[in-house]
Amino acid sequence: PSKEYELLRRRIYFNTKEFWYYVSYELRLLARTVKGIKPFTIQMIKNINEQYLSLLNDIAKLATVDDHAQWRRKEYIYLRTLVQKRLRFLQNPEDCSKAKKLFCNLISDRRSCGYGCRLHHIVNCLVVAYATKRTLFLNNPHDWGFTSSGFSSLFFPLSNTCTSSLDSNETVLPWPGNESAQVVNLTLPIAVPDGSNRMRRQLPPPFDPLVLPEDLSRRIRVLHGDPSVWWIGQFVNYIIRPQLSTIDMFQGYEENMEFERPTVGVHIRRTDKIGSSHKLEEYMYYVEQYYKQQQMNGKDLFKTIYLATDDPTLFEVAYKRYPDYHIFGDPELSKTGSVATRELDKSIVNINIDLFFLSQCNYLVCTFSSHVCRLAYEIINGNKYADASTQFTSLDDVYYFSDQIRRLHVAILPHKSNRPQEMDLQVGDEIEVAGNELNGYSKGTHLRTNKTLLYLTFKVIQKIEVMYFESYPDIKI
Ligand code: GDP
């Protein structure tokens, strides 16, 4: 397929969703404001929903007809292999003492930065290392300053050849250093909450992890509906290359549980994030939508979910309220997932078991405000599906990388606002995205007027930013 075809196909898919969000929201609003029409609108929403799922289903098929699925798989394997090979090359210099290095000093606050948060900081460091062609070293390579042995006992080290700590006679310059400096020291500041649930931190510009490398950007954009996620997924998957004993452990769980796909991964984040929590029913609504859509293909699937959560009490509630579902997952894993114990090795193992199963699922329902949910989504995209950008529902945020600088939309249709909450749009206007309101509108800051207002999501497309990164010309497939 051509680039135009792929971009258009995805745009139709995403806008069909936006159309449904808009219509169903407005109808519900109408039912609340106009007396006596509720039964009529409920029936209407039901009928429109069926049509909507049927449309989504047909559009999804456009991704696979005419050998497109084979093409996508091949392209995905090529790009993935290339990036992984470059990372292996970068991280394993023949002579470590001569290699240029990036020393990443991670000093995140233990209480505010859990496993996913830390892993994302390492991704951040590895992106900078890749872009500047410097072998990455961490100040705490085995434990990430987190557990006594959790990380190094589960995954392969970042490097096989640069294993000892820095040589005392190597010259170390603080970031950004210069070309000739052998070691550049990048200290990632303590993550600080920005008033919402997010940790706000500035990466030394210009390496925003959402920015794509110039040499691969075109191909990644054709391949994937959310190219930055695919890109970040490559770094995550390099960092968490499981050791054989880890694979054995995952497989042991898989057999014990008699885990079967297709299934929907549901991640419910509670404990210290309880303020922003959503009801189990909200997650299950989207699970139901997934199975309804599958039924349209004549597949009467046995309904299953994999439940991952830091709140073990949710399992009993789920068993009771959803007896028609088979619920995979282990409440024991959640018990060590609480804030108080999250630094223990066991909690690292448990969160990784949950992440492994979430990333085996065909669809994810979770909240992107959680690192864990975003991590599962990145793993799926980087390692399992060529393009899983349509295989999730986030109940809150749009996808973001916690250390990102910005995510942009660009207007492709003009708009004249008819209420003060909405912005005017001219074709080409750029907006820094704050979120999707799930009612046909997104919220963002218009870069020209600097005002934060609403805009119709179908009138914009994503703007993918591109930069020159080291292109590793000697690495061939
Ligand atoms: P965030 O706080 O959700 O953005 O993500 P973090 O990874 O930074 O911190 C959450 C921590 O809670 C994780 O590191 C886990 O220890 C724990 N946790 C959250 N969700 C789960 C889950 O589904 N399973 C398990 N086992 N632990 C979880």
Helices (H), 225-370: 227-239, 244-257, 280-295, 313-321, 331-335, 345-358
**CA 273 to CA 311: how far, in whole Å?**
11
Regions of the chain short of the pLDDT cut 70: 107-112, 140-150, 189-206, 273-276, 336-345
**CA 250 to CA 353: how far, in whole Å?**
7
What's the complex ipTM? 0.99
**CA 433 to CA 196: how far, in whole Å?**
15
Residue type at position 458: F
**CA 241 to CA 88: how far, in whole Å?**
11
Pocket test for ligand 1, best of 121, 253, 274, 310 (most atoms within 8 A of CB): 310
- The encoded tokens of residue 423 equal 């912005």
443 forms beta bridges with 435, 454
Pocket test for ligand 1, best of 313, 372, 378, 396 (most atoms within 8 A of CB): 372
Question: Which atom in ligand 1 lies closest to the alpha carbon of residue 118?
Answer: 8
Closest CA to 118 of 147, 91, 157: 147
369 CA distance to ligand 1 centroid (A)?
A: 11
Instruction: Supply the pLDDT for residue 197.
Output: 47
Instruction: Supply the pLDDT for residue 192.
Output: 44
Tokens 């294993």 appear where?
163
**CA 138 to CA 126: how far, in whole Å?**
10
Instruction: Supply the pLDDT for residue 153.
Output: 80
Does an H or E element contain 56, and which? helix 38-62
DSSP 198: -
Ligand 1: residues whose CB is within 6 Å?
113-117, 267, 269, 273, 308-310, 333-334, 337, 342, 347, 350-351, 354, 370-372
- For atom 27 of ligand 1, the residue with the nearest CA is 337
Instruction: Supply the pLDDT for residue 168.
Output: 72
Handedness of CA 325, 329, 332, 335 (dihedral sign): negative
- For atom 5 of ligand 1, the residue with the nearest CA is 371
85 CA distance to ligand 1 centroid (A)?
A: 30
Cβ(191)–Cβ(403) under 8 Å? no
Residue range 34-80, pLDDT digits in tens: 999 999 999 999 999 999 999 999 999 998 888 889 999 999 999 99
Cβ(125)–Cβ(323) under 8 Å? no
Handedness of CA 285, 290, 296, 298 (dihedral sign): negative
φ, ψ for residue 200, nearest 5 deg: -110, 135
**Full-model pTM:** 0.92
Residue range 156-165, pLDDT digits in tens: 989 999 877 7
Closest CA to 362 of 309, 459, 291: 291
Cβ(401)–Cβ(410) under 8 Å? no
Helices (H), 336-468: 345-358, 371-383
